[in-house]
Chains A and B, each alone.
Chain A
Amino acid sequence: MSILLRNIIRFVLLLLIQVFVLNEILIHQLVSPYIYMLFILALPFNLPRPALMLLGLLMGLSLDMFMNTMGMHAAACVFIAYLRPFIINILSPQGGFETTQKTPSMTSMGVSQFLIYAAILVFLHHALYFTLEVFGFANPLYLLLKIILSSAASLFLIILYEMLFFSRK
């Protein structure tokens, strides 16, 4: 499958999972998991930065359309799309990741590297999104708990997704 087709399918699949499965699940007021930003996390390594940010904006706006949160998801997505190359640069070994695997995943980056990479970006995404959603620091403990617990839940789902679709070498 070509990388383009694979990413288009992933875009639609993640959007549908997010809207029709995850948004319907009520675990707790503090835990609302998001998996759709895995699309941005799993875009090819060699994609130029403007493209990354525009795709992030597209993904965010698509989700905003379904969730009536106009611009909030888009802002968080553009934010992590902008920061993604920095994080990859810090985590990459000398000479960059091997070019046979063109997208970031557990097999191409190694399990621990990928976990750190995903955890940082998921946390940043949730931090910005929930700050915009709650809009105000009147209850910082609530906000912090929500960011941490939701990040943990999202990360768990992302690991599950990766294990389902990328287990083979």
Chain B
Amino acid sequence: MRNLIIFLRRYFNFFLFLLLEVICIVLVFQNNNFQRTAYINSANNISGKLYDKYNNIQYYFHLKATNDSLVAENTRLHNALASSFDSVSTANGVRIDTIRKYSDDSARKVIGAEVRKYYYAEAKVVNNSLNKPMNYITIHRGSKQGIKPNMGVISSSGVVGVVRSVSDNYAVILSLLSKSNSVSISARLQNGKEMGSVHWDGDDPEYATLRDIPKSAKMHKGDTVVTSGFSALFPENIPIGYIVGYMQGDKSSTSRPVKLKLATNFYNLQYVYVIENLLKDEQQRLEDSTYKLIK
């Protein structure tokens, strides 16, 4: 026993070093767990507030680009409005309006009897990284404003990422620009409807790879790739990127990887929309109970 204590005291520094390193490595691995909420990240109050202050200054330098993207989005929405179309009369049958109305507070109580599937909430970006293998975006909106983990996030031009952890007033988004397989977005070609998935390879924040598209699919440069709507995160037909060209793939494979230019410009991201899928729980419950039946 005495010898053990002497031994420990003699190599105290080394054991302390080992202990601290083990703590760090455990933290690294714990953080890889997608579901676990990490507390020491930029969603907490100290770093969130500091980023918020800093962004207030930085925001001015991006005002022009932010304004341009908002005007572009307004134009797009105006074009989609019903009043922009000369409609033929459809009053030759009974139609029931099925839009369900929700209250605006975070409880989202049903006011009307109609069904609403997606609820959008705008959020200000206060921090954004681009040059790491895993990139995160911090937004100024948190659990008090109804943000929960695993909600989809889009910008005015395309897909951005998935909410990962949430504090009272801030949330951290795992950006589409994340090299590991933790972010893969279910995608499809807007023209051919073939399904695939989009990953980022960790090189250029402007480009990503579309995988699992069959070789038979007809593709042209500039074709739009959109979300499939199969995952509960994103609605259908939100642009992810535009086809730039083919990439070198496995010759024996039936699919071939395609290079995409991302629709979202991550360099000057200032506002994003967080999407709440109000029917997600129902879909999840049904799918889970079906899996159980099969087992």
Chain A residues whose C-beta falls within 8 Å of the C-beta of B130 in the assembled complex = 26
A68/B131 contact (C-beta < 8 A), A53-B20, A61-B40 known: no
Contacts of A155 in B (CB 8 A): none
| A13-30 CB contacts (< 8 Å) to partner B | 19-20, 23, 26, 29
Which of A53, A68, A71 lies in contact with B42, CB distance below 8 A? A68
How far apart are the CA atoms of A21 and B151 in the complex, in Å? 30
Contact with B along A77-116 (1 / 0, CB 8 A): 0110010000000000000000000000000000000000
Q: What 1/0 mask marks residues of chain B from 37 to 52 whose CB sits below 8 Å from any chain A CB?
A: 0101110101100110
Determine the interface band of chain A, counting residues with CB < 8 A from chain B: 20 to 34
With a CB–CB cut-off of 8 A, which chain A residues contact B38? 68, 70
**A132: interface (CB < 8 Å):** yes
CB distance from B37 to the nearest CB of A (A): 12
Residues of A within 8 A of B20 (CB): 53-54, 57, 74, 78
Q: Does chain A have a CB within 8 A of B111?
A: no
Contacts of B51 in A (CB 8 A): 66
Q: Which residues in A have their C-beta under 8 angstroms from that of B41? A: 65, 68, 70
A29 in contact with B16 (CB, 8 Å): no
Picked from A20, A29, A49, A71, the residue with its CB within 8 Å of the CB of B27 is A71
Closest Cβ of chain A to B172, distance in Å, is 6
Bound Cα distance from A134 to B50, whole angstroms: 28
> Contact: B13 with A50, CB < 8 Å?
yes
Asked whether A67 lies within 8 Å of B24 as measured between CB atoms, the reply is: no
State whether A134 touches B133 (Cβ < 8 A).
yes
Q: Tell whether, in the assembled complex, residue A64 and residue B129 are in contact, meaning their CB atoms are under 8 Å apart.
A: no
Q: A82 to nearest B CB, angstroms? A: 4
The docked-state distance in angstroms from the alpha carbon of A25 to that of B193 is: 39
Task: Report yes or no: A79 in contact with B21, Cβ–Cβ below 8 A.
Answer: yes
Q: Is the CB of B24 within 8 A of A71?
A: yes
Q: Is the CB of A68 within 8 A of B136?
A: yes
Given contacts A29-B131, A53-B17, A71-B25, 6 further A-B pairs with CB under 8 A are A65-B46, A70-B30, A70-B40, A71-B23, A71-B28, A75-B28
Q: Contact residues of B with A, CB < 8 Å?
A: 12-13, 16-17, 20-21, 23-28, 30-31, 38, 40-42, 44, 46-47, 50-51, 54, 129-134, 136, 172, 202-204
Q: What are 16 pairs between A and B in contact, CB < 8 Å?
A: A26-B131, A29-B131, A29-B204, A32-B132, A50-B16, A57-B24, A64-B40, A65-B40, A65-B41, A65-B44, A66-B42, A68-B129, A70-B38, A71-B30, A74-B20, A135-B133
The chain A residues found within 8 Å of chain B, CB to CB, are 19-20, 23, 26, 29, 32, 49-50, 53-54, 57, 60-61, 64-72, 74-75, 78-79, 82, 132-135
